[in-house]
């Protein structure tokens, strides 16, 4: 069996060996429902769509995804099992990819379990299900990008709380990179090219178009590139710990 598959299987099963995974999924589903039907004023706007769900899901991920990733590598480093892992006949990329894919699979399951919301919307009206499918696709891609960031931060520290806080802060910046709250910090002194580059890094900018039903190859490339870059950084950090 491929070593990546072995790592994936071990990590994925570990999510369900404690009640934490079930608690996480329940909290996620409850909050997704609350944001969609209550905070999103679903009944007041009288529109059969999941617009409110996709508007709030990035902010739900902002807190919940760092809670998933904070233990990916921090726990291994704290308990010392990372040394054992790194002595196995496994490449750095296989270890990093296996752990990441397990976290991504777990998060995707949580996302897919929101399907009752989709069913309810179809019962109450006639939504554009093509748009909803595109939105879910974008949600899964965005989750992958946020998880890759969290994986990198987790690899850099033994403290899970610190990993959570730093991952939350970086993901917050990446979500808002295309908004004035971030761009204003650069517009006063940075060249326009740099400001545009910072703006293009926004998770929300690329996710919003997919949430509206537009599949743009550039958005897909963006999320895939973010995943690769942050996982590569994770591998570098873990390799440096191995060398030390």
pLDDT by 10s per residue, the chain, length 244: 587 888 899 889 888 887 878 888 999 999 988 888 877 676 666 676 788 889 889 999 999 999 999 888 887 766 666 666 666 667 778 889 999 999 999 999 999 999 988 888 888 878 889 999 999 999 999 999 999 999 999 988 888 999 999 999 999 888 887 666 666 666 666 666 766 676 677 888 889 889 988 888 989 999 999 999 999 999 888 877 665 5
* Contact (CB, 8 A) for 96 and 235: yes
pLDDT at 122: 87
What phi and psi, each to the nearest 5 degrees, are found at residue 71? -100, -5
> What angle, rounded to 10 degrees, do the helices at 203-211 and 160-175 form?
70
- What is the rounded distance in angstroms from the CA atom of residue 191 to the CA atom of residue 91? 41
């Amino acid at each position: 069996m491929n070593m990546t598959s072995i790592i994936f299987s071990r990590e994925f099963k570990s999510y369900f060996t404690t009640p934490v995974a079930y608690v996480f999924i329940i909290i996620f589903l409850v909050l997704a429902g609350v944001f969609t039907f209550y905070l999103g004023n679903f009944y007041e706007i009288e529109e059969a769509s999941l617009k409110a769900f996709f508007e709030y899901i990035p902010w739900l991920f902002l807190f919940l995804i760092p809670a998933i990733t904070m233990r990916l590598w921090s726990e291994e480093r704290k308990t010392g099992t990372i040394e054992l892992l790194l002595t196995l006949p496994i490449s750095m990329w296989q270890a990093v990819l296996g752990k990441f894919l397990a976290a991504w699979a777990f998060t995707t399951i949580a996302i897919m379990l929101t399907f009752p919301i989709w069913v309810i919307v179809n019962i109450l009206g006639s939504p554009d299900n093509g748009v909803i499918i595109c939105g879910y696709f974008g949600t899964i891609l965005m989750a992958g990008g946020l998880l890759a960031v969290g994986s990198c931060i987790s690899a850099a520290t033994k403290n899970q709380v610190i990993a959570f806080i730093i991952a939350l802060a970086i993901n917050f910046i990446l979500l808002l990179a295309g908004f004035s709250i971030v761009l204003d910090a650069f517009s006063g002194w940075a060249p326009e090219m740099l400001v545009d580059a910072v703006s293009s890094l926004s998770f929300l900018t690329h996710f919003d178009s997919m949430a509206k039903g537009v599949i743009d190859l550039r958005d897909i490339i963006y999320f895939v590139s973010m995943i690769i870059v942050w996982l590569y950084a994770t591998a570098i950090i873990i390799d440096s710990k191995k060398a030390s």
